[in-house]
């Protein structure tokens, strides 16, 4: 798993004193060897306010340690005043002091080419982790849709209405919106691996009562718990990819992750249809149990911790044990606020972004339309094919294949899109505008209304099954480009607040998707097959203006924002001489409070 590292630096170059000027509260990390000073960065941290200068040689080795781990040294003179206002990166700087009250503490950090830095792991190993977490996302999405194959079975078994039976989907999807509000900040405290293992275990266990339930209440309550627990992997998978891949490398891995939430729902009704026809609705839950158990084992025993602050916390703990001193700390230790205060900020921040940031609001609404469309299909396909044409649940599930093929075809185009982005990345010296992420969105947004109009006006019972099924292909093809572009644009636009931006999008998207399931049947009954689908098509057609608006005016909107990111996230220029600020970059998806 380790990668080649640079030869150890001479001791004289590894130690850099950090001093504080009385004239300014800005920390300055000086160089004593005359080497090149890294350019100022707007990406601040809990250690220093925006505008600090630091060098990649500002670390030293402790001769008392048997282990060769780096740290930086600060003195009491470097203490900062309390900062209660947010800096331009959205961080709230607490007072900085030595934890033990002594005159010096040692900040544990990553060095250039550090083998413990996940970004320096081998590409093969990073791809293994990427595919495992993408598989987890697929299983979660599969679990959300597979039960749609036999809603009638639940109705008949428990003698309830269709609306009550559909709550097994609605409550599960509502959980997708609630969970991220808790699991995003928790992953900053306990790390990603702990969240993965714990929540997947809980979700797996609560599938069992669903499969053996003898009343509708048990089924619905356990489905709600499963939805909340299953939301955790989806919440932090994007953060895992940010831990592993640099910005210019992230396009293809993100496409693999983005495809999973749409392939899963497309495959769910296909598998579920034949399974329920053969074995009944309870086996729709047993298959979830098997798949969830497999990914829990893979995540728990083969995927290591990837979150930089958690890795560094373990490194600092090891150094404290070696020395018997408590002066080895990490950046997280410098945040003196209690966890309850940080949690309150996390819970409040997504709503700030949702209602104060036009970019977050409009993209959230757009993604909600798409997510609602996906869950509308779960109800619309049985209406068109089972009620209209008399097909079985299994044959109806086959009609989702073109949708899945569209998703896969879109994911296969990811290398082309990523290559184009890398061209822009190099053209702009490693700092392309965030709006470059919108180009695929501007092209693919038209696929959604085209597919919906095909589905709508070919859904007459007297016409062939081919038309509505083929309408799913352009819809599936457009899903990935739109979803991936929206996520990347939010991350590049908000950087340190990206987790909150994504949480806001997930919240409104999940609530709308959950509601769509409940009114789709009534909408199709009142408007008819053609106009019900056309209504959603016209809404998606109006949404096509959103990427164009942000492409031309997004930069101006971000300049006026108090939350949007204004600096470079990745190191530019000669990277051989700079320390990667992984503590900051690791928060691409799990933002700092």
| Contacts (Cβ under 8 Å, ≥6 apart) of 511 | 174, 177, 368
| Average of per-residue pLDDT values in the chain | 76
**How many angstroms separate the CA atoms of 27 and 43, rounded?**
14
Reply yes or no on whether the pLDDT at 201 is more than 80: yes
- Which DSSP string corresponds to 173-213? HHHHHHHHHHHHHHHHHH-HHHHHHHHHHHHHHHHHHHHH-
Reply yes or no on whether the pLDDT at 477 is more than 80: yes
Residue 430: exposure state from Cβ atoms within 10 A (0-12, 13-18, ≥19): middle
Query: Which pLDDT score, from 0 to 100, does residue 531 have?
Result: 92
Query: Which pLDDT score, from 0 to 100, does residue 238 have?
Result: 77
What domains appear along the chain, each with residue ranges and CATH number? Answer: 1-108+306-336 (no CATH), 118-305+340-562+576-588 (1.20.1250.20)
**How many angstroms separate the CA atoms of 224 and 205, rounded?**
13
The closest alpha carbon to 200, from 241, 229, 238, belongs to: 229
Mean pLDDT (whole number) for 229-233: 90
Q: Tens of pLDDT along 481-512?
A: 888 888 888 878 887 677 678 778 888 888 89
Is the distance from CB of 230 to CB of 288 less than 8 angstroms? no
Residue 42: exposure state from Cβ atoms within 10 A (0-12, 13-18, ≥19): middle
**How many angstroms separate the CA atoms of 542 and 537, rounded?**
9
Question: Per mean pLDDT, which range of 115-129, 229-243, 273-287 is the poorest?
Answer: 229-243
Reply yes or no on whether the pLDDT at 387 is more than 60: yes
Query: Which pLDDT score, from 0 to 100, does residue 303 have?
Result: 92
In the numeric block, the tokens 């609705």 are attached to 281
Reply yes or no on whether the pLDDT at 212 is more than 90: yes
Q: Tens of pLDDT along 25-70?
A: 333 232 223 333 333 333 333 333 233 333 333 444 444 433 334 4
**How many angstroms separate the CA atoms of 373 and 530, rounded?**
15
Query: Which pLDDT score, from 0 to 100, does residue 347 have?
Result: 76
**How many angstroms separate the CA atoms of 52 and 206, rounded?**
49
Q: Tens of pLDDT along 547-587?
A: 999 999 988 888 888 877 755 444 333 333 333 333 333 33
């Amino acid at each position: 798993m380790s990668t080649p590292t640079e030869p150890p630096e001479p001791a004289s170059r590894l130690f850099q004193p950090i001093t504080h000027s009385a004239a300014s509260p800005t920390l300055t990390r000086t160089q004593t060897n005359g080497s090149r000073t890294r350019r100022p960065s707007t990406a601040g941290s809990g250690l220093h306010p925006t505008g600090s200068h630091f060098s990649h040689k500002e670390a030293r080795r402790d001769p008392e340690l048997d282990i060769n781990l780096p740290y930086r040294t600060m003195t009491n003179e470097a203490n900062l005043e309390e900062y209660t206002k947010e800096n331009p990166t959205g961080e709230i700087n607490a007072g900085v002091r030595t934890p033990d009250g002594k005159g010096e503490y040692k900040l544990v950090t990553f060095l250039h080419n550090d083998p413990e830095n996940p970004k320096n792991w081998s590409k093969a190993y990073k791809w293994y982790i990427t595919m495992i977490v993408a598989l987890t996302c697929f299983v979660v999405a599969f679990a959300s849709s597979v039960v749609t194959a036999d809603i009638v079975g639940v109705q008949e078994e428990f003698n309830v209405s269709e609306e009550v039976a559909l709550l097994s989907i609605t409550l599960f999807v509502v959980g997708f919106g609630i969970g991220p509000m808790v699991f995003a900040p928790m992953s900053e405290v306990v790390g990603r691996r702990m969240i993965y293992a714990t929540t997947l275990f809980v979700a797996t266990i609560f599938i069992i009562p669903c499969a053996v339930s003898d009343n509708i209440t048990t089924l619905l309550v356990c489905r709600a718990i499963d939805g909340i627990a299953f939301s955790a992997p989806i919440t932090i998978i994007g953060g895992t990819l940010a831990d592993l891949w640099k910005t210019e490398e992230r396009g293809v891995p993100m496409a693999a992750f983005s495809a999973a939430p749409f392939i899963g729902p497309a495959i769910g009704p296909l598998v579920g249809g034949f399974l329920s026809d053969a074995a009944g609705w309870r086996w729709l839950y047993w298959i979830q149990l098997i798949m969830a158990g497999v990914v829990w084992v893979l995540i728990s025993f083969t995927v290591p911790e990837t979150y930089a602050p958690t890795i560094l916390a373990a490194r600092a703990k090891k150094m404290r044990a070696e020395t018997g001193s408590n002066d080895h700390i990490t950046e997280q230790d410098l945040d003196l606020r209690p966890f309850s205060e940080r949690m309150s900020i996390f819970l409040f921040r997504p709503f700030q972004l949702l209602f104060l940031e036009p970019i977050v609001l409009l993209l959230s609404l757009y993604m909600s339309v798409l997510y609602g469309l996906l869950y509308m299909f779960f109800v619309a396909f049985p209406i068109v094919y089972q009620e209209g044409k008399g097909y079985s649940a299994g044959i109806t599930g086959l009609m989702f294949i073109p949708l899945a093929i569209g998703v896969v075809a879109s994911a296969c185009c990811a290398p082309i899109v990523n290559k184009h982005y890398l061209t822009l990345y190099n053209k702009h010296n490693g700092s392309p505008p965030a709006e470059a992420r919108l180009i695929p969105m501007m092209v693919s947004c038209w696929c959604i209304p085209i597919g919906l109009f095909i589905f709508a006006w070919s859904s007459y019972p007297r016409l062939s099954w081919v038309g509505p099924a083929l309408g799913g292909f352009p819809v599936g093809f457009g899903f990935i480009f739109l979803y991936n572009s929206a996520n990347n644009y939010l991350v590049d636009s908000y950087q340190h607040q990206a987790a909150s931006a994504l949480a806001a999008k997930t919240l409104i998207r999940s609530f709308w998707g959950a509601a769509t399931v409940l009114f789709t049947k009534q909408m199709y009954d009142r408007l008819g097959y053609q106009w019900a689908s056309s209504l959603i098509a016209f809404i998606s057609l109006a949404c096509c203006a959103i990427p164009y608006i942000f492409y031309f005016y997004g930069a101006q909107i971000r300049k006026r924002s108090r939350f949007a990111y204004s600096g470079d996230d990745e190191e530019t220029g000669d990277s051989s001489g700079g320390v990667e600020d992984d503590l900051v970059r690791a928060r691409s998806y799990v933002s700092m409070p």
